[in-house]
Amino acid sequence: MGKKGKKKKVYLNNGEVSFPQSVYTEFFNSSKATYVSARNQLIRVGFIKLVYKGGLGRGDCARYKILCLQETLFKHERWRGYPEKNWEHEIPKPKKQLVGVETQWKKGQSGRNKPKATLSK
């Protein structure tokens, strides 16, 4: 005989879960750095996994998969092996700011020197 009244919770949007930085800072009244460090710690320990990076325009949020739910398969529960193994390499890094790299001053160059004449005699 089966147990009556026991229903298994089903999370339909796991893998599509997003919690934008702006919502976090407003809801918890904290800084952006707090959001980033908390998200990075959850990824490092293995509780969440980044599915989609986002940030390509307005409304394009990052999406995560939660790996500590009851229906998560045992092989996907990363957090069980945390102290021996971590997922530091999966933490998203900010893009390098490459604007104006060609026009920056080079080493040993200054704006005070007069340009050399290019015309020959």
* Pairing, β 63-66 against β 48-52: antiparallel
Angstrom distance (rounded) from CA 18 to CA 60 = 10
* H or E element that contains 66: strand 63-66
- Domain enclosing residue 56, as ranges: 21-90
Tokens of 43: 């990824």
Could you tell me if 80 and 45 are in contact, meaning their C-beta atoms sit under 8 angstroms apart? no
4 is a domain residue: no
Residue in this structure with the two tokens 């995560």, named with its chain if needed: 64
pLDDT value at 119 more than 80: no
* pLDDT tens track for 67-108: 887 777 777 777 777 778 888 888 888 777 666 767 777 776
Residues 6+ apart with CB under 8 A from 36: 21
Domain assignment present for 74: yes
- For residue 99, is it within any domain? no
| Domain membership flag for residue 118 | no
How many folded domains does the chain comprise?
1
